[in-house]
A and B are shown apart, each in its own frame.
Chain A
Amino acid sequence: MSMSAGELSAILPLLIPALGACLLPLAALDKDQETVKWVRGAMFFMALFCLAGGFFYVTRLWATGAQPSYGALHMDRIGQYAGIFVMVAAALAVLQLWDHLHQEGWVKGETLSLLLFSVVGMILFASAGNLILLFLGLELLSVPLYALTATVRLRARAFEGGMKYFLTGAVAASCFLMGSVLLYGVTSSLDLAVIGRALGAPRPDPLALAGAALVLMGFLFKISAVPFHQWTPDVYEAAPHPISGFMSVATKGVAVLAFMRVLGAGVPAPGSLRIQSALAVVAMATLILGNLAALAQTNIKRMLAYSSISHAGYILLGLVAGTPAAYSGVLFYLLAYLAMNMGAFGILTALGLVGDRTTFDQVKGLGWKRPDLAIAVTLCMLSLAGIPPLAGFYGKYMIFKELILQGHVSMAVVGVLASLVSVYYYLRLPVALFLEKPSEKAEREAAERPAIKAPLAGAALLVCGVLVVAMGLFPGTVYKVFALRVVENAFHFVR
């Protein structure tokens, strides 16, 4: 069997990280104490190298405008966007992992291998054109994440979180599978476009609707929208900080992208009305509950987990509006979210807050010791809250504008109110960093601990801060180069 150049270029963005993922465990076999330092360095370099290779390949595809496909695998603009998005997030996570794993004293190559497997699954998930690939992508991205959550197994909580994630994730995955079986049974096709047309018919079959509802549930679980969000804070708290950041950004982003592909694959007016009203209810509940629960948190990671739930709400609002402009707004928002959330989780590693020492009390006054990092994370926080000249503001602005143009004014008002509430809890971190004084006990303990060195995590955080400002200063360029092209080239309703 031979393979054409187009088919090869469709599958290469998946093959490059997959190759790295398969080779890394072999490098991790070396147990020699003298060489272990070099092997570790080589493993992290290899992971970064694979991600960089994949990134440059996908950006080249993006620049040429080619949209190759291999069978049901469509490496079109959505797939390429997902590739760029996930590989940047993974590279930032690898940089932070180097420091975090050294702080925890648990540097294992398998962690990187699992991360790369998850990257492959994410790109597959977002570029899948039929139900089988969609499900396999979902599993290939989740299974490594279950293990990654529990990876630092010296901590008792890690196992608990991993188990929780695994059990809830397995239920969600089986719902997704049952839904796909129903859809396949009724439409006797695995192709998303055919299924979309069948669902968009004036009177769709109730069995197909039940299947669609189950599939929707699988997506909402990964986006961590409200009825399916309970796992999020516990899992993010249990996982290593960079992995929490990676999960919150990449899993959510890719689930949104795959969901957009499913929505965009068909679903004209009558069928989509039902889905839209369901989405609107979920989005409202997500916004309100996520923001209110975040107010009450004392742990930074749990606060960020609830904040990521509330951001799922904003993104879903964009999907409710459902116009091309709203879709490209969501795509811009995802890029902004990548930078600001990786930065927000990155401060924990950069300040060396290991294990459970992630409460607001622990960071009091630390901002004066590392002002550069603290300023970067403050920018990320302001951007998460949606303060004007930063990236997060423009994402929210695009989504709310489309909502109002589509006549959903009340939803836009709730969204704006929610982001006003969020200012309070986002500002708590900068306030703790700069304005509050550490207790004497904490100061004594800090003096006893060795000085924290986290150069790579610090660099990753600074990159995030720069990205947040750059996207805020030049939103138009980013919007035109990335977000708009996806919507123009990949969705049927615009053509």
Chain B
Amino acid sequence: MFLIFALITLLGALSVAFQKNLVVAGLCMVITFFGVAGLYLLLANPVAAALQIIVYSGAIVVLLLFVIMLLSAHEEEDAQSVHSVQRWGSVAAALALAAGVVKVVLSSGFLRGAASGPAPANMNLERVGTALFAEHLVAFEAVGLLLLAAMIGAVTLVKKDL
């Protein structure tokens, strides 16, 4: 089961990166998010899975697709000149980074301990609620301010007759 969901997630993410058509790339993102939601389900965490599907696959991707369609820039433009040195350099850097990440993950004692240790407590809606509105109330309000600031910023930049 894990392999199936992990493959769905990975393939979705790869096709987002390599797809030239932006709308199709957006749809591939939905697949990725569904894969992640499946992983949450495997961890016996249905609340997180439901939130993942509602918030990410539902709201955020729809928003993204709307923006892409409104901008009507469906196809990625070709780069003016292809720097092969840059391309191979970036591939090499990515490979080195990947090797480093694999080494860190393998050498981490924490992950080995987590695999054999007790399962973490389940997330339920009540705990999400208390976490949001009691423990992290300041953070919740700060997110509100952040969204408002982002909105005002966007309006300032694009409104025709400001």
Assembled-state Cα–Cα distance A70/B104 (Å): 37
Determine the chain A residues whose CB is within 8 A of the CB of B101 once the complex forms: 210
Any B CB within 8 A of the CB of A71: yes
Q: How large is the interface on B (under 10, 10 to 19, 20 to 34, 35 or more residues)?
A: 20 to 34
Determine the chain A residues whose CB is within 8 A of the CB of B135 once the complex forms: 71
Nearest-neighbour CB distance to chain B for A336, whole angstroms, equals 30
Tell me whether A132 and B148 are in contact (CB under 8 A): no
Tell me whether B136 and A71 are in contact (CB under 8 A): yes
Tell me whether B153 and A11 are in contact (CB under 8 A): no
Tell me whether B110 and A143 are in contact (CB under 8 A): no
Any A CB within 8 A of the CB of B105: yes
Interface hits, A395-441 → B, CB 8 Å: none
Assembled-state Cα–Cα distance A143/B146 (Å): 8
Identify which of B142, B152, B157, B162 contacts A150 (C-beta below 8 A).
B157
Tell me whether A137 and B142 are in contact (CB under 8 A): yes
Any A CB within 8 A of the CB of B24: no
Nearest A residue to B103 via CB reads A206
Tell me whether B156 and A147 are in contact (CB under 8 A): yes
Tell me whether B156 and A207 are in contact (CB under 8 A): no
Nearest-neighbour CB distance to chain B for A115, whole angstroms, equals 10
Known: A110-B162, A136-B139, A136-B146. A144 touches B108 (CB 8 A): no
Determine the chain B residues whose CB is within 8 A of the CB of A11 once the complex forms: 138
Any B CB within 8 A of the CB of A139: yes
Determine the chain B residues whose CB is within 8 A of the CB of A121 once the complex forms: 145-146, 149
Determine the chain B residues whose CB is within 8 A of the CB of A25 once the complex forms: 152
Any B CB within 8 A of the CB of A356: no
Assembled-state Cα–Cα distance A121/B143 (Å): 11
Interface string of B75-106 (1 = CB under 8 A from A): 00000000000000000000000000100110
Any B CB within 8 A of the CB of A186: yes
Assembled-state Cα–Cα distance A162/B155 (Å): 14
Nearest-neighbour CB distance to chain B for A197, whole angstroms, equals 15
Tell me whether A18 and B162 are in contact (CB under 8 A): no
Give how many A residues have a beta carbon under 8 Å from the other chain's beta carbons: 42
Identify which of B107, B109, B149, B154 contacts A140 (C-beta below 8 A).
B149
Any B CB within 8 A of the CB of A73: yes
Nearest A residue to B133 via CB reads A1
Assembled-state Cα–Cα distance A151/B101 (Å): 40
Identify which of B104, B110, B155 contacts A110 (C-beta below 8 A).
B155
Tell me whether A143 and B149 are in contact (CB under 8 A): yes
Nearest B residue to A70 via CB reads B138
Any A CB within 8 A of the CB of B68: no
Any B CB within 8 A of the CB of A117: yes
Interface residues, chain B, with chain A CB atoms under 8 Å away: 101, 104-105, 107-111, 135-139, 142-143, 145-146, 148-150, 152-157, 162
Interface residues, chain A, with chain B CB atoms under 8 Å away: 11, 18, 21-22, 25, 70-73, 108, 110-111, 113-114, 117-118, 120-121, 124, 132-133, 136-137, 139-140, 143-144, 146-148, 150-151, 153, 159, 162, 185-186, 205-208, 210
4 further A-B contacts with Cβ under 8 Å, apart from A25-B152, A139-B146, A185-B110, are A114-B152, A120-B145, A121-B145, A133-B138
